[in-house]
Amino acid sequence: MPTFVEFFAGGGCARLGLGDSWKCLFANDFSAKKVASYRANFGPSEIRLADIRNVEASAIPAADLWWASFPCQDHSVAGRGLGFAGERGSLVFEITRLLDAAIIAGTAPKLLVMENVVGFVRAFEGQDFASVMTALVSAGYHVGALMMDARDFLPQSRERMMIVAVRNDISRSEALTAKAPDDKWHSKTLRRSVSRLPPEVSKRWHWWRMPLPPEHGLGLKDMIDHPELPDLKWMPPAKIAELLTRVVGRDAARLEKAKQAGKPVVATIMGARKDSTEGTVRTFTVRTDGIAGCLLCRTKSNRQRLMLIDGERVDIRNLSIRELGRLMGLPSGYKLPAGETDAVHLTGDGLVVPVIRWLAAHLLEPLLAGADARPRTALVKQPRARAIRQRKEPAARDVAAPGGIKRSTVATTAYFLPEEAVRLHGVAAEMGVSLHEMVIIALDGVLARRGEQPVRRYSARR
């Protein structure tokens, strides 16, 4: 039975997607409420309530797979676009910190999956994406990524990036890789960012291959509760009338067409901010194609709501907890939080279960089935390589840093010869720190000699 470790575990959607043929050895999340949901569904033994920055490398057991759905807020359209300058966006490097230690200990996973929003691929002209790819290749992995949309499995539009990294000593079947990108799994944005990767990273890039998912034939109408259930809370008519005055333009035309359909139409409505000559106003977008928009962690006026349209009659309400679970592909026996706000947060941050199952069945499990079982040394063997010339960096630009401070930043990546990376990992291990922290300690020394303040670290508290 393959084993896995689950970072940023949330309510355990990755665990559900991997299925009962996988064994979880360790999981963590910093949210007490999400950890409570995880324990309610899987028991208390594997999940640990802890900020990833406070997880010790010694606590991570050897496993076949590491799964890391690192926070998306700083890379999503719903966030401020801070990327790695944001406190949450930078947490991806906590995974590479733990991976550095696992390499030294000889417990580096065969596979590593990093999941995030598609905006991560294009952030800062692909520089954030390139930094993570470089870190994984330097750690001794071959890399690739796919774009997977929940609408191929359920009636929810929810596209996500899946980075799949494979340890160098693991065989990679030609049946699982393609010579060229596939329009289904590799978007134009991903191809553009891949074309900008450093040469030594490009050599270890793979276009992962998977079959097309079958047509599921489900619509939003198949996901909703019976409208007469007593616990459903519909908006009062006056509130609906006021809300509909802010449905304008193409959305108003879409609503009018649904009214004239001659049959009931199940739709969704979501708030959006719009700048006008009169300032920032809130309008509402309407979706009538039988697909829900991406579920988000929104619980106020801009959240996604269900809309039933039957002629001139329009009814609106919040999606129920049961409906949220169905749209995420959660099994009927999964115990969602009883409170609506907590359920919205858990599902909005979660993974769509059948998406993970498809990835596991058609890529992760075949990769592990072909894994090279030869004995390994304590360190992952690094391929020899020439020194990498520094790429031309994009022009600096102002980025809003935490606390509202404006600072001019440029994405910068340090490259080591593979044999140097091994040596430096060893020195850092002797010092009892990660390679990342060792570099910061060195920077502190340079700054001190110049009479400057040391590098500011993020606090481990939130």
Reduced to 3 states, what is the DSSP secondary structure of residue 92? Answer: helix
Residue 307 and residue 314 in contact, taking contact as beta carbons nearer than 8 Å: yes
C-alpha distances in Å from residue 226, one per residue of 230, 246, 445: 10, 28, 66
Token pair recorded at residue 461: 């508290």
3-state helix, strand and coil shares in percent for the chain, rounded to the nearest 5: 35, 20, 45
Q: List the one residue out of 198, 129, 147 whose CA is nearest residue 389.
A: 198
The whole-angstrom separation of Cα 281 and Cα 390 is 45
363: DSSP letter: I
Let me know how long the chain is.
462
DSSP symbol at 174: G
Could you write out the DSSP letters of every residue in 137-160? HHTTEEEEEEEEEGGGTSSB--EE
The phi and psi torsions of 172 (rounded to 5 degrees) equal: -120, 110
Name the H helices within 196-302. 199-202, 237-244, 249-259
- Residues facing 407 on adjacent strands: 399
Q: How far from 315 is each of 233, 253, 266, 282, 298, CA to CA, in Å?
A: 10, 18, 10, 20, 20
Half-sphere exposure of 149 (CA within 13 A, CB side): 15
Q: Which residues pair with 292 in a beta bridge?
A: 156
Where do we find the tokens 């009169």? 278
Report phi then psi at 262, rounded to 5.
80, 10
Q: Which of 13, 72, 294, 297 is catalytic?
A: 72
Nearest CA among 90, 119, 73, 80 for reference residue 399: 80
Name the one residue in this structure whose structure tokens are 């005055």.
245
- Per the annotation, the verdict on 72 as an active-site residue is yes
- How many Å apart are CA 219 and CA 291, to the nearest integer? 6
Q: Compute the distance between CA of residue 347 and CA of residue 334 in angstroms, rounded to an integer.
A: 12
What single string gives the DSSP state of each residue in 265-284? EEEEEEEEEEEETTEEEEEE
| Residue 90 near residue 131, CB atoms below 8 Å | no
Q: Which H/E stretch holds residue 424? A: helix 418-431
- The set of catalytic residues is 72
